[in-house]
Chain A
């Protein structure tokens, strides 16, 4: 059974810092991995999707990397802003699990002005 873990569970940084969020998964037979953002009490917004054959994806100040063999992904946020404050979730889709996504518990990020 796939298990997804995110570390740290919470993070507080001053504005302008570069930061890294970590995601690890136990079963490397994944189809793809996605990073989502969730604001309090709201739904999820997809940030980046990395196919299993890819090593990284970039969108603006966000860069996500994938090391499938070691079961790890990182989300790098450059020059953080208070508007980046949210919970960041990673989710994997396994090769043998249809379209089901398995989520980590999330990292709650607070960027202080």
Chain B
């Protein structure tokens, strides 16, 4: 198993454009999490899936953000009409229901110009 993977690793976009990130969790991990981390800060929780169901959403997840996990495997996070304040590292993590530890991917670094 190669761990959690995220694609792309880096994304530069212009304000107002839409971007989509992908996360592939560790196989058979039924929980998947998205976090956002700005420079010098700890990660902030965005949303969490158990299988294909989105069970929790942070108030940070404005209506410009949408996340899906259609078949309970990979997940996508889309940001519409990006703003400069969206510039951050977007981290994905996965875990098993019976396991407390969340395993993190390398992140996608977004820069909105």
Contacts and interface: CB of A to CB of B under 8 A. Distances in A.
Contact of A100 (B4, B41, B58, B103): B58
A43 B58 contact: no
B42 A100 contact: no
Contacts of B55: 98-99
A34 B101 contact: yes
**How would you classify the secondary structure of chain A's contact residues: helix, strand, loop or mixed?**
strand
A99 B42 contact: no
Contacts of A106: 40-42
Interface of B: 4, 31, 33, 35, 40-45, 48, 55-56, 58, 91, 93, 95, 100-107, 109
A44 B31 contact: no
A104 B42 contact: yes
A101 interface: yes
Interface in A21-35: 32, 34
Nearest to B40: A105
Interface in A89-111: 89, 91, 93, 98-106
Interface residues of A, number: 25
A18 interface: no
6 contacts: A4-B42, A43-B4, A44-B91, A44-B93, A101-B102, A105-B41
A60 interface: no
B48 A100 contact: yes
Contact of B42 (A51, A91, A98): A91
5 cross-chain pairs, A with B, having the tightest CB-CB distances, nearest first: A103-B42, A43-B104, A44-B104, A100-B45, A43-B106
A106 B42 CA distance: 6
Given A43-B4, A43-B91, A106-B42, A99 B104 contact: no
Given A98-B48, A99-B33, A44 B101 contact: no
Contacts of B42: 4, 6, 89, 91, 103-106
